[in-house]
Amino acid sequence: MGKLTLDRILQSQGFGTRKACGVLIGAGEVSIAGQTITDSSAAIETNGLVFKIFDEAWLYRSRVYIALNKPANFECSRKASHHPGVLTILPEQFTRREVQPVGRLDHDTTGLLLMSDDGPFIHMQSSPKRHIQKVYVATTHEPVTPALVGRLLAGVKLHDETEPLAAKTCRMLDTHQLEIVLEQGKYHQVKRMLAAAGNHCVALRRVQIGGLKLDLLGLAEGEWCYLDEAQLAQLTTADG
């Protein structure tokens, strides 16, 4: 990765402007390997760097890839309007380094949400051309029937779409719950498809993207984690 001055390192990690980071360093709030560093211009090797600010350890990351178990009533927007934004769940450093949601979940939809500050990664994951499968668990108002599952698999027509939209797979989980797998990612797609098929969605949770499964991440609702290379690779597979 190479060397950077300590103030630039902290700035890149979202700890403020270069000037503000210099103040932190000069005040003795930054240490590396147990040694307090007060020279903001000190050249530091970034590869594998762990530094502490206010005694909290941070690993230097040129880009961050995050999985969040999104709670209800949070908006997937950097400029939320009616509910808190999902970035308020994360440390404020991520807002400064311009982390943003990868795609969107409705404010009342819960489950697996990716976040990153890597523009090409966000574009790649969001592109409909890549046909990345997303798995949802929907709770319905009316009972789930074989006929409902059949309609979702055959495709339903939405008023603003030129072609019917079909689930990749769909199966009944309980009397009022089904699992539906989509590739398209249209606006409110699961809810609108269920309505078009004659039912109504009362709760929706995304449980998987590609081969990355929320339950294997061990995240309680509202918790987040960094994704490693192996987990990122799962995003391109169909199942885990």
- The answer to whether residues 128 and 184 touch, using CB atoms and an 8 Å cutoff, is yes
Q: By C-alpha distance, which of 118, 124, 125 is closest to 98?
A: 118
Annotated active-site residue in 7, 39, 55, 106: 106
Give me the residues paired with residue 91 across strands.
none
Q: Residue 147: which H helix or E strand, with range?
A: helix 146-154
Burial environment of residue 205 by CB neighbours within 10 A (0 to 12, 13 to 18, 19 or more): buried
Q: Cα separation of 66 and 100, whole Å?
A: 10
Place of tokens 């995003």: 235
Phi/psi zone of residue 148: left (φ > 0), alpha (ψ -120 to 50 degrees), beta?
alpha
Active site residue 106: yes
Concatenating the DSSP letter of every residue in 3-53 gives: EEEHHHHHHHTTS--HHHHHHHHHTT-EEETTEE---TT-EEE-TT-EEEE
CA distances from 203 to 147, 153, 179, 188, 191 (A): 20, 20, 12, 12, 9
Active-site positions? Answer: 106
